[in-house]
Amino acid sequence: MDSFIQDYEGRENEHNVHSDNGEQIEQYNNNLEIDTNTLLLELANDTEDNTDKISNYLASTYEISLYHKLCDQSLYHRLTYEDLTSSYVVEGGYTENNFRGIIIDTGAATNSTAGYDQVRAYLREFNGKIYFSTLGAVKAYFGVGGSISIGTISVPTSIREVIFHILNAQTPFLLCLQGMDRLGVYLNNTTNEILRN
C-alpha cells in the first residue's frame, strides 16, 4: 500500500486553496473537519502497460474506535467507580448474532423468560443445554399476543443458577422480580443495585 489517507470534508465556502498564499493554505488545512468513521485507502497498481492506476477502498474504522472507547470507559470506571452512561441502545434487536445479557423485568411477569434467538446466541458463547421436556410450561404475554414456552435453560449467574423459559419471540433474557425473590435478592432501584435479602 502506498498511502493511507483519512477521508475529510472541508468547509463549503473555501476556494482557491492552490494559490501561492501560504497563510490561506494553512488556514484551509486547520479548518478541515475530519470524519473518523471512514478510512480511504489508495493502492497503486502496476498495469500491463506500466502506468500506475490508483484504486480507492473505503474501510470502516467504527469497530476500532468503539473498542478504544470501551477501553477508555473501562479504565475510567475502574479508577473513579463512576458510570459514564445510564442508558444504552440495542441495534439489530435480540437476534442470534449477539448475546445481549440479562435484563431485570420490572413488569408483571411471574417467570423468567428468554427469546429463542438470544438463547442460541448464549449457547454460542457459553456452555448450556436446552431442556425441551418443559415444553408449554409457561405462556407469556407481550402487548397484544402471547407465546408458549418451548423449553427451559439453566443459566449460572453471580446470584445463583436461574431457569429461563424459552419463548419463540424476539426478547432478551428477562429475569422476573418473583424469580429474584425466590433467589433471595432484590433490586434497589434508588441505587440501581441487586442486593441479597
DSSP 121: H
Q: How many CB atoms lie within 10 A of CB 39?
A: 16
Domain with CATH 2.40.70 in the chain: 102-196
Q: For the segment 143-160, what is each residue's pLDDT rounded down to a tens digit?
A: 777 889 999 999 998 888
First and final CA of the chain: distance in angstroms? 61
Helix (H) or strand (E) holding 178: helix 177-183
pTM over 0.75: no
- Write the pLDDT tens digit of every residue in 74-85: 888 888 887 766
Domain 102-196: give its CATH architecture: Beta Barrel (2.40)
Cα separation, 2 vs 58, in Å, equals 15
- The model's pLDDT over 103-131, given as tens digits with 9 standing for 90+, comes to 998 886 789 999 999 999 999 999 899 99
Dihedral angle, C-alpha 185, 188, 192, 195, nearest 10 °: -30
